[in-house]
């Protein structure tokens, strides 16, 4: 597999609107080539009978179960509000909208 070229890195840099020097193009070409090679090696090892995973260890959801509990009434929730309107907190307008 041929390595990534300096011209390909320059093309990617233009697409990303990055200005890279000649030394940076050479440096990144080598780094990207190493990364692509590592990914290719992983792809060679992956077998069809190995299921894809998102994490190497099995995880379970540790959230507690939902349970209905008493909560504040609208009047109680708004009791300390400096301003309220139609059972809602009233706040100053910030976007110039009506």
What is residue 70's predicted lDDT score, i.e. its pLDDT?
Answer: 94
What is residue 2's predicted lDDT score, i.e. its pLDDT?
Answer: 59
What is residue 57's predicted lDDT score, i.e. its pLDDT?
Answer: 80
Alpha carbon dihedral 12, 18, 22, 26, in 10-degree steps, equals -40
Q: What is the DSSP letter of 93?
A: -
Query: Which residues of the chain, if any, have pLDDT below 70?
Result: 1-2, 46, 97-98
Quick one: angle between helices 6-15 and 22-45, nearest 10?
Answer: 100
For the entire predicted model, the pTM comes to 0.45
Q: Is 61 exposed, middle or buried (0-12, 13-18, 19+ CB in 10 A)?
A: exposed
Q: What is the DSSP letter of 63?
A: P
What is residue 62's predicted lDDT score, i.e. its pLDDT?
Answer: 79
Per-domain residue ranges for the chain? 6-45
Chain-centroid distance of CA 8 in Å reads: 26
Structure tokens at 55: 């994490």
What is residue 40's predicted lDDT score, i.e. its pLDDT?
Answer: 85
CATH class of 6-45: mainly alpha
């Amino acid at each position: 597999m041929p390595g990534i070229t300096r011209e390909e890195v320059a093309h990617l840099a233009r697409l990303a609107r990055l200005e890279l020097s000649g030394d940076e193009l050479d440096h990144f070409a080598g780094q990207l080539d190493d990364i692509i090679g590592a990914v290719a090696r992983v792809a060679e090892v992956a077998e069809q009978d190995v299921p894809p995973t998102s994490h190497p260890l099995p995880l379970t959801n540790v959230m507690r179960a939902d349970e209905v509990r008493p909560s504040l009434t609208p009047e109680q929730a708004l009791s300390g509000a400096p301003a309220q309107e139609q059972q809602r907190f009233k706040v100053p307008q910030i976007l110039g909208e009506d």
